[in-house]
Structure 1
Amino acid sequence: MGPLDGVRILDLTTVLMGPYATTILGDMGADVVKVEGPQGDIIRQVGPSRSGAMGGMFLHANRSKRSIVVDLKHPEGRDVVLDLARTADVLVYNVRPQAMARLGLGYEAVATVNPAIIYAGAFGYGQDGPYAARPAYDDLMQGAAGIPTLLAATGDGTPRYVPINIADRTVGLHVVNAVLGALYFRQRTGQGQRIDIPMFETVASQVLADHMGGLTFEPPLDGGGYARLLARSRRPYRTADGHLCVLIYNDRHWRGFLGAVGMETVLDDPRFATHASRILHIDQLYEMVAGIFPDRTTAEWQELLDRLDVPHTPMHTLETILADPHLAAVDFFPVVEHPTEGAVRSMRVPGRWSQSQPAPGRLAPGLGEHTREVLLEQGLHPARVDHLIKTQAVAQQGETSDPD
């Protein structure tokens, strides 16, 4: 039994940020009912797929859920969602609140039918600021929080985005955290609530936690930025036969490493004598170290660094990580049989729980696979479900409406 066994989550999210969050909650044992429009979540179409509607990103971001299709623009579609909200513990959405209000599914409408519900929204900006109604996507939030500027400073001066959806996933984790906190608060007080998780403020807080620096103080002590993270030479070291990621960090690491490679006098230089001074001149020090790594193979460096107890790891590609011996030992990539996609590689929940281990409860669902099942569970009469399907207010996988 997972830690959220018995919790019902009404999932009105699409693409990545919201679905990533609700998958984590589903892995924890919550019954996640994913509400999709007639065309389905657009992320179904992203990346290679065997069926055309089950891309890899969708499979990973939508396991542990049931899918129902509801046309929220249909007069009876909104009523279906409100009825589901009556018995839900949590409603999660990731469109702008203005869009939810236009659909008749704003907080006030939902709280009227279920005052104890936790109504969690993840969207671009806090609703008390001038950007409240602006749309937001991962690229935009990376730029707004200054990430491309930081990458420009560490490269050739060209601003770039991080090549993962880091804003979506960061905010998704904050959604999970908020929902768990709100569930605990409701357990103690009986009170539901509305929670807004704005992307801009959330990502800005993550970036500035590392890079506020002297701007923390008033007046500022410097222009901000953590020098070690911004060092142009902070990158995997090229060895004689590949690359190796190494973090020579504290005094013990530096003394041991420099002594082992015959460079112990480097620490006599005032620029490199202390941790504080090394941070200020880290680019020069990293460049110096990078110059000696091509002299040995990756395996030779690993043997030396193991002996010195200096942290290091080989640099993987997207393909070689699948064969990593540690991930193999912990069975991180179980291969499962999906009913429409065949054999697919999944990823296990990373953490270990002694009593209530989270684990995927379901494979990613087909579009509308569970519509009839969920509505019947909700107490709707079978004839009512048939009517909703016939009028196209809802849709069930494999069932088409009969116009007659």
Structure 2
Amino acid sequence: MAGPLTSMKILDFSTLLPGPYATMLLADMGAEVLRVEAPDRVDLTRVMPPHDAGVSTAHGFLNRGKQSLALNLKKEGSKEKILELVRDYDIVIEQFRPGVMDRLGIGYETLKAVNPGLIYCAITGYGQTGPYKDRAGHDINYLSLAGVSSHCGRAESGPPPMGIQIADVAGGSHHAVMGILAAVIHRQQTGEGQFVDISMTDAAFALNGMAGAACLAGGQEQRPETSLLNGGSFYDYYQTQDKRWLSVGSLEPQFSARLCDLLELPEMKSLALSQNPEHQKALKAALSEKIKQKTLAQWQEIFADVDACVEPVLTIAEAAEHPQLKARDMVIGVDRGDGTLQRQIGFPIKFEKTPAATTRIGQPIGEGNQKT
């Protein structure tokens, strides 16, 4: 059986990462996604390296399972084409700055007049309102303004530039999917469409979770290396003899006891349970000294059958070969369009009745023109 969202038809005007990641998730779940792309202004993810068989790996992944419509929205006749499509594609997702779609003649109010049940999702850096609504930004800026960066990293070196785009994906993409699906449920109950306003900064601010609760309601501002989970305790990363890293998350008493026993540090068991910063520093120093005496492979063997919340820091290539991720089908083969397969990250939600699937990697620009 196909994915759970086979009844959804989405018109996608987004580029780069946040919007395309969101519509990729929806396409994996069975939604029909038609990407509208400017033929003379190529999306950066189509050309950015590295490439696989001549196709950008970023494009192949982010736009898998979608069709591509090449259409210059500024040219005569384009508006009419979109108005025709929106009668059938009743969900729109776009990523322009506020007002751009209105200036093109295909903003929410115009499209809603054609299809009153339209669900229109706009993803922007700062949202449709507020003094920053027209301001440019990137993931690092959204995380900074949202307070996330202030309590991450090390006290001496400051916040780290992350290897993943947290605000773009965890903020923009995932919240856009949630917002769209919630609006679909509302439409099923009432027949009404609506505008869904996604700010990546809002979403990043919401990710503060426990630290945000402590600050806003408890008056306690979290700083780097001051709390249980951000480096202020022995819950941390430790370098091994071969310059790799081991993650230690043995917070609960039973786990910290096993950790200390395996590392032959029984005298440290009481320190693991202490909230005294000096005790935590002493424990971290002892763990660091012990862990650097063996290689990562040796520690993996030692902890292989021990339930102590200790795991190796793997590269992406190593993670892809880990038996847990392989058992969960988190690496899949996706058709390049010629019958050969490209390895990609799999879909992370497992449905019992309607498993997610994808047909092929991102299409060449305009390949879907003849179908529309």
Instruction: Give the alignment's TM-score, normalised by structure 1.
Output: 0.82
Where do 5+ consecutive residues of structure 2 fail to align? Answer: none
- State the partner residue of 1:371: 369
State the distance in 2 between where 1:342 and 1:308 align.
41
State the distance in 1 between where 2:65 and 2:278 align.
47
What is the one-letter code of the residue matched to 2:311?
T
State the distance in 1 between where 2:144 and 2:64 align.
30
Which residue of 293, 296, 306 corresponds with 1:295?
293
What is the one-letter code of the residue matched to 1:245?
S
Where do 5+ consecutive residues of structure 1 fail to align? Answer: 376-404
Which residue of 353, 358, 361 corresponds with 1:360?
358
State the distance in 1 between where 2:99 and 2:150 align.
31
Within 5 Å, give how 1:95-134 maps onto structure 2. 95-134=96-135
Within 5 Å, give how 1:1-400 maps onto structure 2. 1-39=2-40, 40-50=42-52, 54-151=55-152, 153-154=153-154, 156-170=156-170, 171-206=172-207, 208-212=208-212, 214-217=214-217, 220=219, 222-225=220-223, 227-231=227-231, 235-241=236-242, 242-268=244-270, 272-274=272-274, 277=275, 282-339=280-337, 343-373=341-371, 375=372
Point out the more displaced range, 74-83 or 122-131: 122-131
State the distance in 2 between where 1:283 and 1:80 align.
64
Alpha carbons 1:149, 1:160 under 8 Å: kept = no
Alpha carbons 2:335, 2:360 under 8 Å: kept = no
- State the partner residue of 1:393: none
Alpha carbons 1:98, 1:133 under 8 Å: kept = no
What is the one-letter code of the residue matched to 1:321?
A
Residue 292 of structure 2 aligns to a residue in which SS? helix
State the distance in 2 between where 1:283 and 1:122 align.
43
Cα distance, 1:305 vs. partner? 3.3
Cα distance, 1:157 vs. partner? 2.2
Alpha carbons 1:29, 1:361 under 8 Å: kept = no
- State the partner residue of 1:380: none
State the distance in 2 between where 1:329 and 1:308 align.
20
Cα distance, 1:338 vs. partner? 1.2
What is the one-letter code of the residue matched to 1:169?
V
Point out the more displaced range, 259-268 or 162-171: 259-268
Point out the more displaced range, 325-334 or 24-33: 325-334
State the distance in 2 between where 1:32 and 1:198 align.
22
Alpha carbons 1:213, 1:224 under 8 Å: kept = no
State the distance in 2 between where 1:122 and 1:191 align.
21
* Structure with bigger gyration radius: 1
- State the partner residue of 1:384: none
Alpha carbons 1:36, 1:70 under 8 Å: kept = yes
Cα distance, 1:45 vs. partner? 1.1
State the distance in 2 between where 1:34 and 1:310 align.
46
Alpha carbons 1:2, 1:356 under 8 Å: kept = yes
> Which has the larger share of helix?
1
Cα distance, 1:304 vs. partner? 4.2
| CA gap 1:278/1:342 in 2 versus in 1, 3 angstroms | farther
Give RMSD over aligned pairs: 2.5
Alpha carbons 1:143, 1:161 under 8 Å: kept = no
| CA gap 1:318/1:155 in 2 versus in 1, 3 angstroms | farther
| CA gap 1:336/1:267 in 2 versus in 1, 3 angstroms | closer
State the distance in 1 between where 2:49 and 2:280 align.
40
